[in-house]
Amino acid sequence: MDKRQFIKTLALTSSFLPLMNSANANAARKKSPKQRLPVALNKGDIVALVCPSKAVDDSLEIQIGKEALEAFGFNVKLGKHLNARRGHLAGADSERASDINDAFADKEIKAVICLGGGSGAARILPLLNYQTIRNNPKVLLGFSDITALHNAIYAQTGLITFHGPNATGSWNPFNADQFQRLFFQRELMHYENVRGNEDDLVQRQNRTATIRGGKVRGELIGGNLTVFTALAGSPYLPDFTGKILFLEDVEEAPYRIDRMLSTLKLMGALDKIAGFIFGACVDCRPNGGYGWLTIEEIFNDHIKPLNIPAYRGAMIGHIRQQFIVPFGGTVEMDADAGVFRLIDQVFKPT
């Protein structure tokens, strides 16, 4: 290419730069939709019980979930395909997705509660009607495999959802109190681990450990680490920039935790976050072999070098007493104290 042709090509390319930048800006806006608040809940409201993942093993599970929600004072509407089955799934993908779409479209329903987790929620993400969800913002509650729904809905609509017990989970006094304070009293929750009933001089249960000290504010995203990283490369993960990432897992060997954090590092996600909270890693025992990295060493390798506030041990995950965390809610975390707190309301004003 001669000099004249080069200058002509450069001028032509430059003329397209504003359009390219505009396209990139539009893509960024699509990736980070405006935060949307769900309608607040009250006793007597109608809530939907849905099953986005695995099938129930016994119809008694549905009855237990329904009774738990009724104990909070709700009227419960069962998803049309709640008792369906296709292999290990609670019905065909289209059936499970339609129950969620119908629940968000139904004006009488004020919340969508997931019966349980398991596996399969990611399969229905392309079938969800995100426009309907955006236009009808309401509470979605669940955890574990429901991580797929939390991330997709927040990424596509900006709607704040809630990572916490499924309907068939443990509704012990701690969890029930969290539910009532957050959803009925609309408290700006302070999330601090409780001390267990231990006959010991020092606290051993529910301990937090600082990975890197400091305070930071940001929107919470995350969930179950395995489900979360399985969404890599899809349009169903939110933008990580300035977010506080919370994670938990169950029955994963440390080498797998290391592999998944490596994935988040390689995709550039960890370099964008402003803070990090790790909850419980239940039964995350090493396998046999030539040795293994400890969970602490894995965090020291992947998280500590980020130089952001970070701690582990929060009461999040597959544990009996667990925080109900607003996915997309704005919090302030203190990694030295091992606490975080809501600083903005997460419900539409009544």
Structural domain contains residue 35: no
Domain count within the chain: 2
Q: What is the pLDDT of residue 163?
A: 98
Structural domain contains residue 160: yes
Instruction: Tell me whether residue 95 is one of the annotated catalytic residues.
Output: no
Structural domain contains residue 34: no
Which CATH number goes with the domain that contains 165?
Answer: 3.40.50.10740
Structural domain contains residue 13: no
pTM above 0.75, yes or no: yes
Instruction: Give the HSE-up count for residue 287: Cα atoms under 13 Å, Cβ half-sphere.
Output: 7
pLDDT at 143 over 80: yes
Instruction: Tell me whether residue 318 is one of the annotated catalytic residues.
Output: yes
For 224-272, how does the pLDDT look when each residue is reduced to its tens digit (9 = 90+)? 999 999 999 999 999 999 999 999 999 999 999 999 999 999 999 999 9
Catalytic residue among 81, 95, 144, 252: 144
Q: Are both 65 and 174 inside the same structural domain?
A: yes
Among 134, 157, 184, residue at a domain's last position: 184
The answer to whether the beta carbons of residues 282 and 250 sit under 8 Å apart is yes
The range of the structural domain enclosing residue 102 comes to: 46-184
Q: Are both 95 and 173 inside the same structural domain?
A: yes
Catalytic residue among 61, 95, 219, 248: 248
Structural domain contains residue 10: no
Q: Are both 113 and 236 inside the same structural domain?
A: no
The answer to whether the beta carbons of residues 183 and 284 sit under 8 Å apart is no
Which CATH number goes with the domain that contains 263?
Answer: 3.50.30.60
Q: Are both 180 and 207 inside the same structural domain?
A: no
Catalytic residue among 81, 163, 302, 318: 318
Structural domain contains residue 162: yes
Q: How many residues does the chain have?
A: 350
Question: Residue 208: which of 311, 344, 61 has the closest Cα?
Answer: 311
For 87-135, how does the pLDDT look when each residue is reduced to its tens digit (9 = 90+)? 999 999 999 999 999 999 999 999 999 999 999 999 999 999 999 999 9
Report the greatest alpha carbon distance in the chain: 84
Q: What is the pLDDT of residue 197?
A: 74
Structural domain contains residue 26: no
